[in-house]
Structures are given as C-alpha cells and as structure tokens.
C-alpha cells in the first residue's frame, strides 16, 4: 500500500533511458535495511531483528529468489546491486535465540554465497556495499578508519565473483581514499565506488562538503583505475528535499568522467547548458544551512534548515545552538537572493519555491523560541503580546504558504505516496504554533500561573556543538519535534 512501481512502469523507465544509452540497474537490499518490509506481521517469519533477515532458513531464500527475479525482469541490464550494508545487527535477534552465537562475517559470507547462487541462476552480475567487510576487519567497527587492514581470512573467504562497492560521502582527504581502495583491490576484483551529493536529512544540498569529498574521491578513483562510479542522493527520513537540486552535482560527476582534471569554468557552462539554471543559483541553496555560526565550507555537516523548522517553539530543543545569532536578517536576505535569481520561464524554476518560502519562514521562526523564552523569563507582557498576536500568527501564515509550495513540488515530481509524511509534519507544526498562542494567552489572562514548557532550562541538543564549526546535526524529524514519548504510568494504590 505504498504506491510501488509496477512491472510496466519500470519497463517504461528502462525503455526511455535506453534511448539515451543509459543503463538502469536495480538496487535492492537482501540482508538488512529491510525495516519497512519486516514491520508487517505477515513478514515476521523472515525477521531476525528489526531490519535484518532471518538466515539459514529456506523460506528466506525463496523470498530472495522471488525478489531478485521480480526486480530484474523489467530491465535490460544484467547487473544488480544486492545491498547488504550496515548489517551490524545480523544474527543478534531471533537467530541468536534459536541458533546461538555465530560470527557475523561467517554468517555474511554463507548468506552471500546463497544469494549469488540465485543471481547466477538468472545470469546476473552482482555488486554489493563493502562496509561490513571493513567494519568486521576493524576492532572499532569503523569502516572509515584509515588504519583498517583486511585480514587474509576475510579476503580468502569472500566470493570472488561479487563486485564490492566502497561508499564514502564526507571524507575530503585523498590519501584516505587511496588506502581504502588499495584494501578493496586485495579481493582481486576492481571495486566500484559510490560518492554522494548531500540532499538528504535537510531541505537543500550541501555542495560545499559534497564537492570537496567528491573531488578527493574521484581523483583517487582515476589514479587506481576504478571505472564504475555511482553518485547517490538518498531520501532519508521523509526526504524534504528533491533530487533536482542535486543536478549540479550530477553534472560534476559527468564532467569528471571526461576529463583528467575538472575545469570549473567548463562545469559552470555545462550546468547552465543542461539545466538552464546558473551554477550560482544551485550553490546559493547552501545558504539555508550556513547561517551565522556555521563555517563557510560546512564540512562539519549541519542541517539547521530542517531542525529550526520542525523544532517546537515551546520546547526549543535547538535554541541553545543559535543564541546570539541574527538569523532574521540572514534568512530575509537569503529569501531575497533566491527570489531575485529565479527564472519563472524555466521549467525547473519550481524547485526554488520551497527554499525561498522556507527562508521566509526561518526569518521569523528560527529565533522565535529564544525571544519567547526571554520575554517569559523577564515577564515582559508587551513582548509576549507581540509574539502572541503578531509574530506567531505570521509564522503560521508563512508555514502554510511553504506547505502549499512543497505539496505542489512533490506532486509534480513524485507519486502522491509519501507526501502524507511531510503533510502531517506541517500540520503538527501549525498546531503546535497555535498551541503556543493559546498557552501564552492563558498565562497573560491569569488562567495558569506558569507556562511549564518555558520553565525548562535550554540545553545543547548535540554534545560538543559549541566547539564545532556547525550548529549541530539531527537526522530524524521525531527527535527534532519533541524529546517526549508517550508512556503508560501504572496507578499506585
């Protein structure tokens, strides 16, 4: 009931891509990251942990056979990506209870061999993420540790027909890539590489970090003869952003594919030629996540465009992060710059409506929690009235305008399924702003002695953020919206 693509729709996509010489490769998960399948009671039989499959049972491999046959049938390509990344919980749920402890590497290799029997049956060439091999080779479990050395045992036991894909999205040191690629080459098969254009967990791309990391990665790939390169644009946590804002990044990878060293001026010309949008118009979207308090190149990865929107005005989870910053002037200016650069005649102009309207929301909302807390602590009745009667209602008006633009963008780019996730967030935001108005009104009218939410001390959400070059990071909406969860308290008699 999630609006899945039919065989006919997938085949139509493949037919369209083939006209331009583009190979579509199905990418699935065959081990972990299957929370959205395993959450159903009907799938319990296949479940080891919340996201990992139950291994060493025939039903699991029948399921995977059906999955692989189904997902590859619409495509011309004989390649398939079978996933298997971030499977730390492997063998540690129902499997552990029923079969006892087994080493995760041995479980993975045995499972991989079974999956490859299926891909071999259908004449497919499989690739998979390599991070688990790197994690299991390192005492810290850090796949990105430059000191990682794969053991001979891991190299010898790993099936030779699989192509391993090394993924890395935020490392800017080229020597790091050199070392990890050299480790991959010990498997006697040239690895593939996947970089990223950071469009996930935020409303806008982080081109500063993405392009720096990609430059180092692609330079290393060329020096080592790595020819299969992916650029990823994930859709984590509802995906408030969109992939068209990442087009500059895709052009960046394309230009790298045809040049030993990228020519930045040529890149700018090609971005304009292929999209009709200026290079600078894409890059200026970074500004939503680089307000005062964030270092210009944003390598510490911070996402205030998301957490300052969704955080609750009464609870102020991230207010401590922005104390003393003039965000209203900043975001007003960002909104003006985006508006001035828009080209209404361009078919892609609509992708700038959300960043523009979000900047207008943040100009008022980003610091409103701090103003409210200060006015409350000082019992400044005039300021509380101003916030209640003018500022919060204006924020609600701007949020509704943002939501309308976001809905229009979503429905122009996607199936409707999934929009309800974002729609509910906007509804929750508006309702909480309305509740804030009501709570202030009750306090000013003497109906309540205090506003309990505003009695709470404001603390840093992220430890050490005051020593960071960013404003903090949070991946999940539900953590931004509230620190509370519902629990049932048993009465005591």
Residue from 114, 131, 3 nearest 63 by CA: 114
Three-state SS at 296: coil
The tokens describing 112, both together, are 């991989």
* pLDDT (average), residues 201-225: 96
Q: What is the per-residue pLDDT across 266-322, written as a single tens digit (0 to 9) for each? A: 999 999 999 999 999 999 999 999 999 998 878 888 999 999 999 999 999 999 999
* pLDDT (average), residues 468-492: 85
| Inter-residue contact 315 to 457 (CB < 8 Å) | no
Q: What is the per-residue pLDDT across 378-419, written as a single tens digit (0 to 9) for each? A: 999 999 999 999 999 999 999 999 999 999 999 999 999 999
What's the total number of domains in the chain? 2
* Containing structural domain, residue 206: 7-283
* pLDDT at site 149: 87
- Alpha helices (H) along 122-246: 131-136, 152-157, 174-185, 207-224
* pLDDT at site 144: 67
Q: Please report whether residue 490 resides in a domain.
A: no
Q: What is the 3-state secondary structure (H, E, C) of 197-216?
A: CCCCCCCCCCHHHHHHHHHH
Cα 168 from Cα 78, distance rounded (Å) = 25
- Alpha helices (H) along 379-451: 381-386, 392-413, 419-444
| Inter-residue contact 433 to 417 (CB < 8 Å) | no
Q: Please report whether residue 491 resides in a domain.
A: no
Q: Please report whether residue 238 resides in a domain.
A: yes
| Inter-residue contact 473 to 302 (CB < 8 Å) | yes
Q: Are residues 313 and 248 in the same domain?
A: no
Cα 273 from Cα 423, distance rounded (Å) = 35
Residue 396 sits in a domain whose CATH number is 1.20.120.670
* pLDDT at site 493: 60
How much is the mean pLDDT over the chain?
95
Residue 24 sits in a domain whose CATH number is 3.20.20.80
Does this model's pTM top 0.75? My answer is: yes
Looking at 252, 283, 314, the residue that finishes a domain is 283
* pLDDT at site 278: 97
């Amino acid at each position: 009931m999630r609006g899945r693509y039919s065989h006919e729709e997938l085949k139509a996509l493949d037919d369209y891509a083939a006209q331009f010489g583009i190979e579509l490769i199905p990418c699935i998960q065959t081990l972990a990251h299957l929370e959205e399948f395993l959450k159903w009671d009907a799938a319990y039989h296949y479940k080891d942990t919340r996201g990992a499959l139950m291994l060493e049972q025939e039903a699991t491999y029948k399921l995977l056979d059906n999955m692989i046959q189904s997902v590859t049938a619409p495509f011309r390509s004989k390649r398939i990506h079978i996933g298997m990344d971030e499977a730390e919980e492997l063998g540690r749920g129902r499997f552990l209870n029923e079969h006892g402890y087994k080493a995760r590497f041995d479980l993975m290799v045995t499972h991989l061999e079974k999956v490859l029997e299926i891909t071999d049956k259908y004449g497919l060439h499989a690739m998979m993420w390599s991070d688990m091999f790197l994690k299991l080779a390192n005492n810290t479990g850090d796949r990105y540790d430059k000191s990682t050395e794969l053991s001979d045992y891991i190299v010898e036991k790993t099936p030779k027909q699989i192509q391993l894909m090394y993924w890395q999205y935020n490392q800017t040191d080229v020597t790091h890539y050199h070392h990890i690629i050299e480790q991959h080459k010990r498997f006697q098969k040239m690895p593939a590489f996947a970089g990223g254009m950071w469009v996930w967990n935020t409303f806008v791309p982080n081109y500063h970090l993405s392009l720096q990391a990609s430059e180092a990665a692609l330079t290393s790939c060329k020096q080592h003869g790595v020819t299969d390169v992916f650029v990823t644009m994930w859709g984590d946590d509802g995906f408030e952003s969109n992939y068209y804002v990442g087009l500059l990044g895709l052009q960046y990878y394309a230009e790298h594919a045809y040049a030993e060293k990228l020519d930045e001026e040529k890149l700018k010309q090609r971005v304009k030629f292929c999209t009709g949008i200026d290079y600078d118009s894409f890059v200026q979207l970074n500004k939503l996540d680089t307000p005062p308090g964030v270092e210009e190149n944003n390598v510490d990865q911070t996402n205030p465009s998301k957490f300052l929107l969704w955080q609750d005005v009464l609870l102020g989870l991230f207010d401590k992060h922005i104390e003393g910053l003039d965000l209203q002037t900043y975001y007003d200016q960002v909104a003006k710059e985006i508006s001035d650069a828009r080209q209404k005649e361009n078919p892609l102009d609509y992708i700038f409506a959300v960043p523009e309207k979000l900047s207008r929301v943040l100009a008022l909302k980003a610091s409103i929690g701090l103003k409210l807390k200060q006015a409350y602590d000082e019992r400044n009745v005039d300021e509380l009235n101003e916030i209640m009667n003018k500022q919060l209602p204006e924020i609600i008006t701007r949020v509704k305008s943002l939501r309308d633009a976001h809905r229009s963008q979503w429905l122009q780019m996607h199936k409707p399924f999934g929009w309800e996730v974002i729609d509910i967030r906007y509804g929750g935001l508006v309702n909480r702003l309305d509740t804030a108005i009501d709570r202030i009104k009750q306090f000013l009218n003497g109906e309540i002695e205090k506003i309990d939410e505003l009695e709470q001390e404001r603390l840093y959400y992220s430890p050490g953020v005051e020593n960071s070059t960013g404003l903090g990071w949070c991946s999940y909406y539900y953590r931004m919206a509230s620190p509370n969860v519902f629990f049932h308290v048993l009465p005591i008699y």
